Amino acid sequence: MKVLVIGGDGYCGWATALYLSSKGYEVGILDSMVRRHWDMEIQVETLTPIAPIQKRIQRWKDLTGKKIDLYIGDITNYDFLSKTLRQFEPESIVHFGEQRAAPFSMIDREHAVMTQVNNVVGTLNILYAMKEDFPDAHLVKLGTMGEYGTPNIDIEEGYITIEHNGRKDTLPYPKQPGSFYHLSKVHDSHNIHFACKIWGLRATDLNQGVVYGVALTGLLDDEIIKDELLINRLDYDGVFGTALNRFCIQAAIGHPLTVYGSGGQTRAFLDIRDTVRCMELAIANPAEAGKFRV
Ligand SMILES: NC(=O)c1ccc[n+]([C@@H]2O[C@H](COP(=O)([O-])OP(=O)(O)OC[C@H]3O[C@@H](n4cnc5c(N)ncnc54)[C@H](O)[C@@H]3O)[C@@H](O)[C@H]2O)c1
């Protein structure tokens, strides 16, 4: 099966591309490299230096004999996106290609607008390109648990049945995001839901928790895990670094943990190896046409 990994130079995307390629999927990576640019803009870098994408892909081929196609460009550019899809002809599209840091989206108006335009327009372009040329392809889109916020009742994935004034319905679970970034994901979810309804597309919205881990130990060969050119990124700065990564680095160097707020928050965390296996499960079992699967 042919799978296009959008955002394949990023953290979750790179791990997913390698895992799917190792499992025999024909993989293409589409990425604008904008994340490397954002790192430079705020003067941060991954603790594990990552090689240029062409070198990463070449090393993968040298070690495994498996080819990964590369398309460098921005999905907010519709012409580029639709040409890429026609060239690669994906059966599944895994979409990780977004600005994903809440603090980055909250820096100022420019960053809030940029985040929402990048994420909402990019996803909308994918939906239109699928409707035009690949109506049977399956979109696996990365959402986040942050779309739901922290309500004082259990979170139901996707839908909740509500009884109100004697009548009952199953409705999308209320969203209470906490940043302009999280709001962009909520807008995406609504757009995908609507596109499935009116155009009969297939889509799965995976709302994952915070992902941790670097190596796919146990899933890929040790030689691959140890290869410096294939290493994944590890963000630990105050903008793109996730709390768990920061706490681990701080503990390792004897720095006091920079706990936010009262320190009472509980969150779900996900091993990167579960992320990639979850992607494969979703791809191997596509959503029904016209159904928005969450
Ligand atoms: N990392 C986590 O803990 C986590 C948790 C929940 C959800 N997610 C979701 O998973 C996705 C990927 O997260 P990540 O941590 O891998 O992020 P990342 O920043 O490491 O990777 C995102 C990639 O997308 C690319 N990209 C961004 N905008 C693009 C555009 N317009 N066109 C083409 N490429 C573009 C970037 O260059 C980058 O390589 C995001 O949508 C994020 O919301 C991540």
**Could you report the per-residue pLDDT of 75-121, keeping only the tens digit for each?**
999 999 999 999 999 999 999 999 999 999 999 999 999 999 999 99
What was the pLDDT predicted at 266? 81
Which residue's entry shows tokens 């963000």?
235
Rounded to whole angstroms, how far apart are CA atoms 2 and 202? 16
Average pLDDT of the segment spanning 137-147:
95
Give the alpha-carbon dihedral of 269, 137, 290, 158, to 10 degrees: 0
C-beta neighbour count of 74 within 10 angstroms: 18
The two tokens of residue 141 are 């889109």
23 CA from centroid of ligand 1 (Å): 22
Average pLDDT, the chain: 96
CA of 148 to the centre of ligand 1 (A): 19
CA dist 124 and 120 (Å) reads: 6
pLDDT at residue number 264: 83
Q: What would the pLDDT profile of 272-291 be if each residue is shown by its tens digit?
A: 999 999 999 999 999 999 98
Pocket around ligand 1 at a 6 A CB cut-off: 7, 9-13, 31-35, 74-76, 96-100, 118, 122, 142, 144, 208, 210-211, 242
Percent of the chain with pLDDT over 70: 100
DSSP state at residue 178: S
The secondary structure element, H or E, covering residue 211 is: strand 210-212
pLDDT for the residue 268: 83
Q: Which of 76, 144, 204, 275 is catalytic?
A: 144
> Tens of pLDDT along 144-182?
999 999 899 999 988 999 999 999 999 999 999 999 999
Which ligand 1 atom minimizes the distance to the CA of 118? 31
State the average pLDDT over residues 115-132: 98
Query: Best substitution site from 98, 120, 123 to test ligand 1's pocket, by max atoms within 8 Å of Cβ?
Result: 98
Phi first, then psi, for residue 30 (nearest 5°) are -115, 130
Predicted pLDDT of residue 262: 84
What is the pLDDT confidence band of residue 50, given thresholds at 50, 70 and 90?
very high
Domain 2-234+270-293 belongs in CATH node 3.40.50.720? yes
Q: Please tell me the number of Cα atoms within 13 Å of 189 on its side-chain side.
A: 26
Specify the pLDDT at position 40: 97
Mutate to test the pocket of ligand 1, among 100, 105, 114 (most ligand atoms within 8 A of CB): 100
Question: What is the pLDDT at residue 73?
Answer: 98
Q: Angle at CA 244, nearest 5°, toward 239 and 246?
A: 50
Amino acid at 63: L
- Among this protein's residues, is 71 annotated catalytic? no
Percent of the chain with pLDDT over 90: 91
pLDDT in the model for residue 260: 79
Confidence label for 263 from pLDDT (cuts 50, 70 and 90): confident
* pLDDT given for residue 88 in this prediction: 98
Residues 57 and 29 sit within 8 Å (Cβ to Cβ) = yes
- Closest to 191 (Cα-Cα) out of 256, 126, 249: 126
Do 43 and 239 form a contact (C-beta atoms < 8 A)? no
What's the 170 CA to ligand 1 centre distance in angstroms?
Answer: 31
- The residue ranges of every structural domain in the chain are 2-234+270-293
Tokens of 75: 């999905």
Write b or e for each residue in 162-173: b if 16 or more Cβ atoms lie within 10 A of its Cβ, otherwise e: eeeeeeeeeeeb
Q: Tokens 């990463």 label which residue?
A: 56
Residues facing 26 on adjacent strands = 2
243 confidence band (pLDDT: 50, 70, 90): confident
pLDDT per position as a tens digit, 205-237 = 999 999 999 999 999 999 999 999 999 999 999
